Chains A and B, each alone.
Chain A
Amino acid sequence: MSLATTQSIAEIKARNKELIAEVLKVYPDKTAKRRAKHLNVHEAGKSDCGVKSNIKSIPGVMTIRGCAYAGSKGVVWGPIKDMIHISHGPVGCGQYSWGSRRNYYVGTTGVDSFVTFQFTSDFQEKDIVFGGDKKLVKLLDEVQELFPLNNGISIQSECPIGLIGDDIEAVSRAKSKEYGGKTIVPVRCEGFRGVSQSLGHHIANDAIRDWVFDKITPEREPKFEPTPYDVAIIGDYNIGGDAWSSRILLEEMGLRVIAQWSGDGSLAELEATPKAKLNVLHCYRSMNYISRHMEEKFGIPWCEYNFFGPSKIVESLRKIASYFDDKIKEGAERVIEKYQPLVDEVTAKYRPRLEGKTVMLFVGGLRPRHVIGAYEDLGMEVVGTGYEFAHNDDYQRTAQHYVKDGTLIYDDVTGYEFERFVEKMQPDLVGSGIKEKYVFQKMGVPFRQMHSWDYSGPYHGYDGFAIFARDMDMAINSPIWKKTKAPWKDVAKPRLLAAE
């Protein structure tokens, strides 16, 4: 049993505050002062979590964060399946992000779909010295010749591009004209920009605004007849098929999904989105920018939703339905009713095995709050959570709708802090990323990767909830966690008895 369940809230708060004070001791003074602002114990009723966020990481502390390129190529653009995404610069960035994010899609890979490819300009020293624009021009020609069915190209800038003064915008404009108005999108997502993946999301959103929306011509208008029930799924990257197990629910309630951003997405879907009647937004952090833009420019309202766990699904289905007429509202109720038996069965099977178990999370910009309800549906409790790259509005949402009184909050946690926190709080499960997985498993703590779903999924929607429950049970109740101590290490030393 973990510590948290045996203590009162006041004790937990005191313990967590002590923990924070303790980890800060390891830092040089200047660093301790800066890190102190990112750690807090949540007080119920406060409008945010009381931590600073979206601030530069401190050198040398082992931040878990990535970069703007990861936010643009890895998150927003990479899943658009019928476009070719060039990792422009040296070979590494594209190599490390090649195929590892599990944005599922269906297509003829290599002919009309290209998600699991690594296209790169593989910069050499001469490209740094003389600039890479000429190489880019030639590269685009080669893409066109070898992959004639690609529907567009994006140029994802790596660090050197912005430092050597290349003009990828000019190249993109010229080549687009040459290819008869082809969509070519230069993205200024150099890794040194901003403080995390987050600015990369914003830059990528802006690139869609400037280089896709602003270039839509009459011949590019969507080919389908609009209906009053057209919606677009925004901010679902289809990890393990998440967007599909969400889409099916929206369609069952009577809506028509005209676009997916960007998991299993296509350029045609991006271009059709301004025709939507409502944008439904899952990952607020990475795609609120384009949602706000569409609201301002095209008058499309947007609605945040959460498809993790039945409580939040029910709430979200009703919220989405509230934007439409009775037909859709009834549809939402029908969907809720249809899946209730599944929810009951899943809960009956797994809740007894998971009741009272505690969880600590550290993920990107959405899941540290979004999955809390799913754990609670299974009787589990999230005792600590934090984000790699959230902003203050994320911490507001977290405080107002998700975390409990006394929860430990850690923004941009360092490797050292996270280990100490877990060591002292002894949660039954840690949910974070690949870099953290083996650290905690070595410590004997069950772990699930909460970026990639640990190669499982989907976790969204009702179908996903069953998988989520199964996976959490499988992690926590695996027999292996009883074997981490060698039996001879537990044995009390034999006492020497005096001879009778």
Chain B
Amino acid sequence: MVQNAEHVLDHFELFRGPEYQQMLANKKKMFENPRETAEVERVREWTKTPEYREKNFAREALTINPAKACQPLGAVFASVGFEGTLPFVHGSQGCVAYYRSHLSRHFKEPTSCVSSSMTEDAAVFGGLNNMIDGLANSYNMYKPKMIAVSTTCMAEVIGDDLNAFIKTSKEKGSVPAEFDVPFAHTPAFVGSHITGYDNTLRGVLEYFWDGKAGATPKLERKPNEKINFIGGFDGYTVGNIREIKRIFDLIGIGYTILADNSDVFDTPTDGEFRMYDGGTTLEDAANAVHAKATISMQQWCTEKTLSFIEGHGHEVVAFNHPVGVSATDEVLMTLLRITGKEIPEELSRERGRLVDAMADSSAHIHGKKFAIYGDPDLCYGLAAFLLELGAEPTHVLSTNGNKAWGEKVEALLASSPFGKSCHVYPGRDLWHMRSLLFTEPVDFLIGNTYGKYLERDTGTPLIRIGFPVFDRHHHHRYPVWGYQGGMNVLVKILDKIFDEMDKRTNVVGKTDYSFDIIR
């Protein structure tokens, strides 16, 4: 027995002791009917080969370890960004348990969301009664200012009509007639979580701008000087949105952040649970129609939303998760053009500091090869930053990136001498990435927590940037946008580079050289 009260051993150490190791070896040998060790080794080696890669890339039906989730996750993420808003997902209840868990595991924060709990009878008769009862219960229990409705695939397959259901629920008195219940159909079998974000944001804006589902006249646009800002589905929403507010305030731009969930995903521990916190006020959401322009930081998260907004007569500009000097320059120059404001000296100095930092460290990043995966805009933004650093984004892979995204990334790669030997992989998954890492190795991998399986298999060090990040804490509190955000990304990459240098040179009596105290 190795356990002791003085120094309690948990799973990290307990099972490494001889008693447990012997027990597990016996279990395997006697009862698991295991494959021959040599055969396991042979197959393991085979999965690393170009031949395996070819078979792997020929897959048509099977998806293995995708880097995407489903629409309603994005719907919940967007919905909680409005003041006092309760997301209500119409369909099976297990889905809602999953979205809440998923978001809470990333942000280490509560995620409040309800379901209409449809079961077999609703599958047969439709979920109208679930909607009627559900809205009434949510409204009474959680006193929201707004309930934003989306759907699971169950409700979509049976064809429930949200617009009609919500109207009927209001007629039956579930919620007052004037209570705001915007909605969006968010089928899980179309697109991904970024599509759900897009559909939901569009749904909310359409609701407020185009007459609250027929209940009021459409708003008439009276142009003002404000700028609307949309972050898109973003694991760094807390740090990023706060950084954007700071930049807008510095320049002196009047703005509305749409779907501002930076507070609800970062509430204090002070004795009070805040189910709702911060968020875009409903008044601001409605008045956003009058803005001079709308800026989206993520094109592929906001395609439908931007085209809807453009239809209401103001300029829309979309970026691709801008990270680094040039990308941030572009955002600021666009703001400057649209607003006629001047960029304050403070931001010029921040820019200079980022350039300074990149110049100081460039020798360590220059020429390094990276594999990147994640949401399409994030991949684009990180690839652009790496090119700016003289690094090579050798593999750029996005499971929810489409053909148009692929072409745009290709154009980016073609624009730089560092992009020459780099390739883009739209619609591929992390098992494809595994083949790429074995057959065309790189120095570093950038991705979310699931990349740790690739790191273990291929030995490629993982830099955690993306969503979800479950196994590192608090990164979402730091921005990756703006010059200061670029600095954070730079430091994150550098830290891993230096850690790896040290790890590769720390064998006493063997690699005493290169183990430098100054890098």
Whether A159 and B92, one on each chain, are in contact in the complex, defined by CB atoms closer than 8 angstroms, is yes
Contact with B along A421-444 (1 / 0, CB 8 A): 000000000000111011111111
Residue B69 lies at the interface, judged by CB distance under 8 Å to chain A? yes
Instruction: Tally B residues with Cβ within 8 Å of A.
Output: 108
Q: Smallest CB–CB gap between A234 and chain B, Å?
A: 15
* In-complex Cβ contact of A112 among B3, B40, B93 (8 A): B40
Task: Provide the A477-500 mask, 1 if CB < 8 A to any CB of B, else 0.
Answer: 000000011100000000000000
B341 CB-CB contact with A under 8 Å: no
Tell me if A179 is interfacial: C-beta within 8 Å of chain B.
no
B3 contacts A164, C-beta separation under 8 Å: no
B contact residues vs A (CB 8 Å cutoff): 1, 3-6, 8-11, 14-15, 19-20, 23-24, 27-28, 30-35, 39-40, 43-44, 47, 52, 55-56, 59-66, 68-70, 72-73, 88, 91-95, 97-102, 104-105, 108-120, 122-123, 130-131, 133-138, 140-142, 152-154, 157-158, 187-190, 192, 267-274, 431, 434, 450, 453, 457, 470
Say whether B69 contacts A60, CB under 8 Å: no
B189 touches A95 (CB 8 A): no
Distance of A62 Cα from B141 Cα, bound (Å): 10
* Shortest beta-carbon distance from B56 to chain A in Å: 6
Counting contact residues on chain A (CB < 8 A from B), the size range is 35 or more
* Interface pair B4/A63, CB less than 8 Å apart: no
Report B-chain residues with C-beta under 8 Å of the C-beta of A78: none
Chain B residues whose C-beta falls within 8 Å of the C-beta of A264 in the assembled complex: 27
B453 near A434 (CB under 8 angstroms)? no
Which residues of B are found within 8 Å of A197, using beta-carbon distances? 94
Can you offer 8 A-B residue contacts whose CB atoms are under 8 A?
A59-B117, A59-B118, A92-B98, A138-B61, A138-B62, A248-B20, A258-B30, A486-B270
- Contact between A60 and B114, CB atoms less than 8 A apart: yes
Partner-B contacts on A (CB < 8 A) = 26-28, 30-31, 56-70, 82, 89-93, 95-100, 104, 106, 108-112, 116-125, 127-128, 135-136, 138-139, 142-143, 145-146, 148-149, 151, 158-160, 162-164, 191-195, 197, 222-224, 240-241, 244-245, 247-248, 251, 257-260, 264, 266-269, 272, 338-339, 342, 345-346, 348-350, 414-416, 419, 433-435, 437-444, 456-458, 462-463, 466-467, 469-470, 484-486
Q: Which residue of A67, A121, A346 contacts B94 across the interface (Cβ within 8 Å)?
A: A67
- Let me know if B141 and A434 touch, CB within 8 A: no
Q: Of B15, B30, B43, B69, which contacts A91 at CB under 8 A?
A: B69
Partner of B3, one of A111, A258, A342, A443: A342
Give chain B nearest CB distance to A237 CB in angstroms: 14
Report whether B272 and A443 are in contact in the complex, using a CB–CB cutoff of 8 Å. Answer: yes
In the bound complex, residues from chain A placing their C-beta under 8 Å from that of B70 are 90-92, 95
> What residues of B have a CB within 8 angstroms of the CB of A31 in the complex?
133, 136-137
A458, B189: Cα distance in complex, Å: 38
**B33 CB, nearest partner CB in chain A, Å:** 4
Contact partner, A195, options B40, B119, B133, Cβ 8 Å: B119
The minimal Cβ–Cβ distance linking B415 to chain A, given in whole angstroms, is: 32
Cβ-defined partner of B141 (8 Å) among A61, A245, A433, A467: A61
A residues within 8 A CB of B158? Answer: 163
Q: Which residues in A have their C-beta under 8 angstroms from that of B113?
A: 62
